[in-house]
Amino acid sequence: MPRYGRAAIGLAAVALLGSLVAAAPAAAAAPPAPLANTVLTTGSAAGTAVAVGDVLQASLKATTTANFYSSATGTTGVKCAASSFSAKVLTNPAAPGTATESLTAQSFTSCTTNVAGTLGVNSVVVDNLPYSVSVTSAGAVTLTGSIQSTVSLRTLLGNITCVYKANGNTVKGTASNATTSIAFVNQPFTKSAGPGTCFGTAYFSATYSPVRDTTQAGSPVVYVN
């Protein structure tokens, strides 16, 4: 048998091996780096991004009240056992950053008064909605706009109306992931209309928890990053 026969077979094997190697799929590419967390997420601090257009809602933290007191340290004024808000997400950028919302509804019910000369509360109404809302990665919550509340009280001489406007058209709060809450503490409002029975300055305090994304199935809790 000619000696070149084995050489030919060897060359064919090398060629076949080369073709198999060439046909083998390339090594899997490294997965893309995950996108940065957005300012607002659901499920956890590193969870699913809240979608633009989603509606966020919250009621008062259990066993707490929303208060409109005549001083930052006193307890005279109006307090409400029920309150809630609803806000639409306008932007939700990558963190760190600032998300924006539109506060479209806020209510106060089951309210009582201990203001001298008053017998009860007819209503507490939030005027001039919507308000602009910003939420930073640091948890700073800021409401801006023509922020105003109208309080109707019953007295021995009939009903009176007290109108209060937020100082500087701004109300500030703090978001906390530990309690999934937004807290407002002693935010000052100045009386713009009403008789002397209406105190001159109303300090607003309330804690809303948990804040939920009611657009998504199961209304997951919202976190700030």
Look up residue 120 and give its two tokens: 């009860």
- Residue 35 lies inside a defined structural domain of this protein: no
pLDDT digit string (tens) for 105-160? 999 999 999 999 999 999 999 999 999 999 999 999 999 999 999 999 999 999 99
Q: What are the helix (H) ranges across 25-172?
A: none
The per-residue pLDDT for 154 is 98
- 36 pLDDT band, cuts 50/70/90, is low
Span 183-188, average pLDDT: 98
Would 58 be classed as within a structural domain? yes
Task: Assess contact for 174 and 141: CB atoms under 8 A.
Answer: yes
Any domain includes 54: yes
Alpha helices of the chain — where are they, by DSSP H? 4-23
pLDDT tier for residue 206 given thresholds of 50, 70 and 90: very high
Count of domains observed in the chain: 1
Q: Is the pLDDT assigned to residue 18 strictly greater than 60?
A: no
Domain limits for position 136: 40-224
CA distance 55 to 57: 7
Residue 215 lies in a domain: yes
Q: Is a pLDDT exceeding 90 seen at residue 21?
A: no
**9 part of a folded domain:** no
pLDDT at position 5 = 44
27's CB contacts (< 8 A; 6+ apart) are: none
What is each CA distance from 191 to 23, 72, 194, 197, in whole angstroms? 80, 15, 7, 11
Q: Is residue 28 part of a domain?
A: no
3-13 confidence digits (pLDDT tens): 334 433 343 33
